[in-house]
Structure 1
Amino acid sequence: MQKYMAILSDMEERIRTGQYGPGRKLPSIREAASLYDCSRSTIIRAYAELERQHTIYAMPQSGYYVVDKRGEQWDVRECERLDFTSASPDLNIFPYLDFQHCLNKAIDTYQYHLFTYGDSQGLESFRNTLASHLASDQVFAKPDQIVVTSGVTQALMILTQMPFPNHKSVILVEQPGYDIYLRYLEMEGAPVESILRTSKGIDLDRLEKLFKHGNIKFFFTMPRYQNPLGVSYNLAERKAIVALAAKYDVYIVEDDYMGDLGSERRLHPLHSYDDAEHVIYLKSFSKIIFPGLRIGAAVVPRLLLPTFRMYKKYADSESSLLSQAALEIYIKNGMFERHKHKIVKMYASRMKAMNDALLQHNASGIVEPTLVQSGVYIALQLENSVNMDQLIRRLAGREIVVVHSKGFYLTNYASPYKFLRLSITRVHKDVISASVYTLLEEIKKANQNAGRKRL
């Protein structure tokens, strides 16, 4: 991250956490330059950006002050309902003004292009920007390999329907796995096979047997921060999966929709190990900016590209040009990286609070949590005898809403364990410990009820 961006992120964090409280005067330009060991022009640029965001204001002959937005802040005392279900971005840190600026700039820059039909593969300048952006995450692709889609869901629909050069037909999915895609596969009547995934990973021997004998067209997987478990494949697993795909001519559809929200280094996507061009990499921006943007990107192997483009053209001639243009500007101006730094830091602090709360309140082992240090999901494994529907209702009665495991399995799949999926994106850090205590209290009661019924 550039020096200016790091300084700006630090100033925003100090303001957000109250170190520079509402109405407080900020350090002078000279003092701030000394504090950050940078030039005065860098500080002037940072203060100008904060002023443009309406975060601070300048008083002539006096200095810069923090805008008093206490009426707009999230008062945790008013959060009566604790929502552990949503993975949408925290609305309290949504970059409204930044993105509004990018939308206005996009209209000015692309005013004629926005009102014509564009390339179904995506705005060329945006794909060039995406190529550089993806390279920073070890996904190296030429712009002509990138196809812009209306979210990752559209890419999954295309890949499900189109023929593959390996002439196979079965789609392999993780169990538990991404609920929306599982429901889509069932609705389409697509031939599906499944493999169990746990906090410990997957059985690579079974995966090899399925790849070798299962007529597998592609394996759909979320290697990093999987929904719903929140876990990631380790390095050995990632390399082994890619090697098996190349060996048995099976494609991998890698959904990396949570990749931006992790703070762990060297946890690279499967695509970075793919020398045989058997990995289709899917990128989403919905979890870090906002779902309504409806912009996704698919990095497609060249052998699949003509067919994918044809299906994309007839399914949806083009994704929103305005959204593409605004996101291009948002990325090129460094705004995306700065927002990412902010949101990852916030979510990491919430995940730490979650882990600390479980360590404190789960000493007796009421639940078995997945070991997750980053991302937004964590799963709590329960006793199989627990009445899940009754538990969900009791928690809702105490203003805690959660998602249970049923929807993350194929309908006819005999799930070997039950769990609750928790998301930390909409729950303030300061209420996590108390909510986990209440959550475990209700689970303990559910365990006792299940025990009495067995007797």
Structure 2
Amino acid sequence: MTVNGLPSLIHEVKKMLVQYQVFSKDEKIVITTGTQQALYILTQILFPNEGDTILIEQPTYHLFNRLVETTGVKCIGIKRDANGIDLNQLETIFATNHIKFFYTIPRFHNPLGTSFSKKEKLAILALAKKYNVYIVEDDYLADFERDQKVDPLFAYDLYDQVIYLKSFSKIIFPGLRIGVIVLPDNILSNFLALKRVIDYDTSLITQGALELYLKSGMFTSHSTLLAKRYAKKAMLLHQEFERQIKECSISIDYKRPISLDTKLHFTLPQNINLIELIQRLNAENVLLKSINENYLSNFNKENIIKIDVRNTNKSLIPTGIQTIFQILGQMV
């Protein structure tokens, strides 16, 4: 047993990662107790570029926002919306701050449901190289990608500056506290040194269960089945939403993503009270919530609604979308 993880599991994970166009040596793959542990370690260790500030797209995964704020890590945000991020602003931030790493969710963004194009990925990598910034790529929904031509940032990285994160909680079950991180050689030893102190052995039982799941082929068959199921839900969600928005009198900012997710978001005028909207929808059994928790506390929060139908019965999606627009119409 090593601090990296069960060698036999790492071997299986390495084969799995190839399906996502992530090619790595065994020794650069580390099994962690969830991706949250991996993110914590990354925020604490010294990086070769000696950066002292973490850049986080906003909004983003809410627990990473809380992690940096709770631990007092120096961080700043950059706006991300349906159009991606402003690359000129990204360059300005890289050029004027000592950025340690840029945390991003390139595909099926949480909470927006959007994905970067290949052109955007290459532009981000070029800026990272120019200003010696590392990128932490959270690819938590890689298993649901239906387009085989779509590759992660990691696949385009020529300079060993992308740190790749993968979670299993969305594809197996949330209680499985296990994650995978692929690290550059010049960060690996610092990462393992801290992991050895805080958590030498990620649960052997959990690792063994995941290894069996991967080796038996159950993971591949299960993820393929779920991907097909979610793709149908995503298509229905966006089709119904786009049908309803054509008949809506309210000015709603929405852009169809290049890859459809079971999540979508839209921005409402400032005169629409989101709290009231959510309460009225909840009363109609349409359960939505604010994405304010997906922002850093001091970052400007927009009037955004997120819809996620991953765990919604497919037959209920059209009715739910219609209800949202009916309530909106009553609030004008």
- TM-score (norm: length of structure 1): 0.70
Give 2:304's match in structure 1, choosing from 419, 423, 429.
419
User: Looking at CA atoms only, which structure, 1 or 2, has the larger radius of gyration?
Assistant: 1
* Counterpart position of 1:340: 223
Choose the corresponding residue for 2:74, options 191, 196, 209: 191
What is the rounded CA distance, in whole Å, between the counterparts of 1:344 and 1:375 in structure 2? Answer: 10
Report the counterpart of residue 295 of structure 2 in structure 1: 409
Give the deviation of 1:392 after TM superposition: 1.3
- Helix, strand or coil at the partner of 1:267: coil
Once the 2 structures are TM-superposed, how far is the Cα of residue 288 of structure 1 from its aligned partner?
Answer: 0.8
> What is the Cα deviation at residue 324 of structure 1?
1.3
The percent identity for this pair of structures is 38
Aligned residues: 329
CA displacement 1:97-118 (0-9 Å, x = unmatched)? xxxxxxxxxxxxxxxxxxxxx3
1:132 and 2:15 equivalent? yes
Query: In structure 2, which of residues 13, 26, 34 is the aligned counterpart of residue 143 of structure 1?
Result: 26
Structure 2 contact 55–77 (Cα < 8 Å) conserved: yes
Q: Which residue of 2 aligns with 1:369?
A: 254
1:3 corresponding residue in structure 2: none
Kindly provide the CA deviation profile for residues 316-335 of structure 1, in whole angstroms up to 9, marking residues without a partner as x: 11111112122112112221
The one of 284, 291, 294 aligned to 2:167: 284
CA distance in 2, matches of 1:222, 1:200: 14
Q: CA deviation at 1:387?
A: 1.1
- Tell whether the 8 Å contact from 1:229 to 1:370 is kept in structure 2 after alignment: no
Corresponding residue of 1:435:
320
**1:60-112 CA deviation, whole Å, 9 max, x = no partner?**
xxxxxxxxxxxxxxxxxxxxxxxxxxxxxxxxxxxxxxxxxxxxxxxxxxxxx
TM-score, structure 2 as length reference = 0.96
How big is the shift at 1:394?
1.0
Alpha-carbon distance between aligned partners in 2 of 1:281 and 1:376, rounded to the nearest angstrom: 23
Provide the rounded CA distance (Å) in 2 between the counterparts of 1:248 and 1:325: 41
Amino acid at match of 1:383: P
Answering whether residue 265 of structure 2 is matched by residue 379 of structure 1, we say yes
- CA distance in 1 between counterparts of 2:187 and 2:262 reads 32
Q: Does structure 2 retain, via aligned residues, the 8 Å contact 1:145–1:302?
A: yes
8 A contact 2:28–2:183 mirrored in 1: yes
Q: Answer whether contact 2:237 2:262 (CA < 8 A) is retained.
A: no
* 1:370 to partner: Cα distance: 4.1
Structure 1 position 270, deviation (Å): 0.5
Contact 2:4 2:31 in 1 (8 A): yes
d(CA) in 2 for partners of 1:293 and 1:409?
Answer: 26
What SS class does the counterpart of residue 384 from structure 1 fall into?
A: coil
Does the CA contact (< 8 Å) of 1:223 and 1:232 recur in 2?
A: yes
State how far apart, in whole Å, the 2-side matches of 1:413 and 1:137 are. Answer: 33
| CA shift digits 1:166-215 (9 cap, x unpaired) | 11110000011111111111111211111111111111111112112211
Give, in whole Å, the separation in 1 of the partners of 2:311 and 2:14: 31
Kindly state the Cα deviation for residue 368 of structure 1 after the two structures are TM-superposed: 3.2
Deviations 1:227-248, CA, capped at 9 Å, x for gaps: 0111011011101111211221
- The aligned counterpart of 1:233 is 116
Does the residue aligned with 2:107 lie in a helix, a strand or coil? coil
The match for 1:329 is 212
Aligned amino acid, residue 128 of structure 1: H
Residue 421 of structure 1: how far off its partner (Å):
1.2
Q: Which is worse superposed, 345-354 or 183-192?
A: 183-192
**Which whole-Å CA distance do the structure 2 matches of 1:272 and 1:403 have between them?**
35
Residues in 2 aligned to 1:243 and 1:329: alpha-carbon distance in whole angstroms: 39
* Map of 1:271 onto structure 2: 154
Aligned match of 1:307? 190
Q: Identify the match of residue 172 of structure 1 among 38, 51, 55.
A: 55
Q: Which of 124, 129, 136 is matched with 1:253 structurally?
A: 136
**Tell me, what secondary structure is at the counterpart of 1:254?**
strand
- Where structure 1 has 5 or more consecutive residues not aligned to the other structure, the ranges are 1-117, 449-455
